[in-house]
Amino acid sequence: MPPETVPPELPTQLSAWKDEEAALLESLEQIEHKHGFIPRNIAEEVSRVLEVKLERLRKLQIKVESNVRKEVDTLVTKWKDEEGSLILILHEIENQHGYVPREIAMEVSYALGVKLARIYEVLTFYHYFKLKPPGRHNMSLCLGTACYLKGAPAMLAEAKTLLKVEEGCTTADREWHLDVVRCIGCCGMSPAMVVDGKTYGRLNASDVSRIVNQTTQPKAAS
């Protein structure tokens, strides 16, 4: 599905639905706490509702998957005549999603007639392809030689303690993704880093927290 046809916001039901489940679980736990167990009549009723819900969930899943298939099919037809097209297709997926989801990789494997292992062979070899979804904000710290000499390691240490993640990892709340990149070609303004597509240069370790705050609370900073 091309990005422009995506509705600008998620369906509101989705978040309400997540809460509903949590509430249901909580009330069941309360009952369990009160009685020491869940009474049979309640259990039966819940499982009956769940059956129906699961059936609907499967439909939903199929809906989403058919979307994936459509997306992959358009990509494959686009690059079909090109020799060695696998990397090109993966590039497009990476650019759209920010990573290569497993379901899509499986679809690509099916559509191209290439074994999934072959696809993962390529995916894991190249640094550009990611297998995990990125965070809401992404920090790429340049660790090219020029930046390295001018104090990037201290910045990296600062970013690690600040965000409480290792390099190449995403925070538990999916807010920040910290990455180390080879060279962003801005050696003239080293040390540099890219946060959400914006390049910051001539930094030192203390700038990291300022930039993080600025990015998470754009209004408070200004």
Partner 1 sequence: MNKLTFADLEKYEKTMADSGPNWVRVSMDTGGIAAGADTVCTIFEKGVGTLGFPVEVRHVGSLGYSFADPLVEIAREGMPRVVYGRVDDEVARQILQDHLAGRRLLDDHILAWRNRALTFDGPSTHILVKDTSAEKGDKSQFFQFSLAEELKRGNLQDKVQVVRALDMGVYDEGVAVQFLPSRVTYTNVLAPDVARIVKTSVQGKKVIDDLLYKKPDKQVRVVMRNCGKFDPESFQDSLRYGVYQGLASVLRGMKPEDVIATVKTSGLRGRGGAGFPTWLKWQITRAVQRTPKYIICNGDEGDPGAYMDRSVLEGDPHSVLEGLIIAAYAIGATRGYFYIRAEYPLAVSRVEKAIADARAAGLLGENILGSNFSFDAKVRLGAGAFVCGEETALIASIEGKRGSPSPRPPYPSERGLFGQPTAINNVETLAAVPAILVRGGDWYGQYGVEKSRGTKVFAVTGKVRHPQLVEVPLGVTLRDIVFDLCGGVFGSKAIKAVQTGGPSGGMIPEHLLETKVSYESLQELGSIMGSGGMIVMDQDDSMVEVSRFYLRFCVDESCGKCAPCRIGGYQMLQILNRVARGRGEKGDVERLRAISKAMQKASLCGLGQTAPNPVLSALRYFEPEFKAYLEGGVSYARKMSANRPPEPAAAEPANA
Applying CB under 8 A, the span of 6-14, 27-35, 36-44, 81-89 interacting with partner 1 comes to 81-89
**Residue 139 pairs with which residues in a beta bridge?**
178, 195
- Chosen residue from 104, 144, 156, 158 binding partner 1 by CB under 8 A: 144
* Beta carbon nearer to partner 1, 65 or 151: 151
The structure tokens listed for 124 are 């894991």
Helix axes 40-79, 12-35, angle to 10 degrees: 150
Find out whether 112 and 76 touch, Cβ atoms under 8 Å: yes
Quick note: the x/- pattern for partner 1 over 10-49, rule CB under 8 A, is ----------------------------------------
- Chosen residue from 19, 59, 125, 172 binding partner 1 by CB under 8 A: 125
| Cis amide prior to 191 (ω within 30 degrees) | yes
The structure tokens listed for 84 are 């060695």
Whole-angstrom distance, CA of residue 110 vs CA of residue 198: 37
Q: Give the shortest CB-18-to-partner 1 separation in angstroms.
A: 36
Site residues (vs partner 1, CB under 8 A): 83-88, 90-91, 121-122, 125-129, 143-146, 148-150, 181-190, 192, 199, 201
